[in-house]
């Protein structure tokens, strides 16, 4: 199941139907190619890392088979350090677009967690941009001046959301 990552942050993490955590952020690889996993806040008060491939994204939940897939301290720290968090990505200004006031609204992924598009929004419109047109800088995203790529999956996701 693919779609917008923003909506995943509203789904509980469940093991065999029991709520065990809530996602607090989505961690992407720094080059915006794929989702690495989720930072989740567990019911015991500890934040952990849930790898993308260890969970199953369902319409009402993020399902996990075994609690051992929720990784503790050092692993979470590693992924925080070597990833780009969706919440941080949403705060970065976007340069290279006409108007310059765009922000990342969402990230569209396929069922394997591969990034299909970044959804950028400004006051006038929302558009999907292919990830290979975006460079991540320390304090901004820069969109290439090449034309927007056709993205049928992203266009469908925008129409749904």
Condensed to tens digits (0 to 9), the pLDDT of residues 47-73 reads 999 999 998 888 899 999 888 889 998
- DSSP assignment of 37-87 equals EEEEEETTS-EEEEEGGGEEE-SS-EEES-GGGSB-HHHHHHHHHTSEEHH
Q: What is the pLDDT of residue 155?
A: 46
Q: What is the pLDDT of residue 113?
A: 93
Q: What is the pLDDT of residue 125?
A: 84
Encoding tokens for residue 102? 């765009």
Ramachandran area for residue 100 (φ above 0: left; ψ -120 to 50: alpha; else beta)? left
Positions of the chain with pLDDT under 50: 148-155, 157-161
Q: What is the pLDDT of residue 98?
A: 65
Contact at 8 Å (CB) between 86 and 28?
A: yes
Q: Based on the fold, state whether residues 149 and 115 are members of the same structural domain.
A: yes
Q: Based on the fold, state whether residues 47 and 107 are members of the same structural domain.
A: no
Residues in contact with 141: Cβ distance below 8 Å, sequence separation at least 6, in sequence order: 89, 92, 93, 94, 95, 104, 118, 134, 135
Helix (H) or strand (E) holding 127, with range, is strand 126-129
**Final residue of a structural domain among 24, 58, 86:** 86
Q: What one-character DSSP code corresponds to residue 98?
A: T
Residue 16, burial from CB neighbour count under 10 angstroms (0-12, 13-18, 19+): exposed
- How far apart are the C-alpha atoms of 135 and 143, rounded to whole Å? 6
Contact at 8 Å (CB) between 79 and 87?
A: no
Query: Which residues span the domain enclosing 76?
Result: 3-86
Q: Based on the fold, state whether residues 72 and 23 are members of the same structural domain.
A: yes
Q: What is the pLDDT of residue 67?
A: 84
Q: Based on the fold, state whether residues 82 and 137 are members of the same structural domain.
A: no
């Amino acid at each position: 199941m693919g779609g917008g990552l923003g909506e995943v942050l509203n789904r509980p993490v469940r093991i065999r139907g029991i709520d065990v955590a809530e996602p607090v952020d989505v961690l992407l690889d720094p080059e915006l190619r794929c989702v690495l996993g989720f930072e989740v806040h567990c019911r015991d008060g500890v934040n952990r890392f849930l790898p993308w491939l260890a969970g199953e994204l369902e319409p009402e939940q993020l399902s996990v088979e075994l609690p051992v897939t929720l990784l503790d301290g050092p692993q979470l720290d590693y992924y925080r350090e070597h990833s780009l968090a969706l919440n941080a990505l949403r705060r970065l200004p976007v340069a290279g677009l006409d108007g310059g006031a765009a922000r990342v609204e969402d990230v569209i992924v396929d069922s394997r967690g591969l990034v299909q598009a970044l959804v950028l929004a400004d006051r006038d419109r929302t558009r999907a941009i292919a990830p290979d047109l975006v460079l991540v800088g320390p304090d901004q995203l820069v969109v290439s001046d090449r034309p927007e790529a056709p993205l049928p999956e992203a266009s469908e996701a925008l129409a749904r959301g």
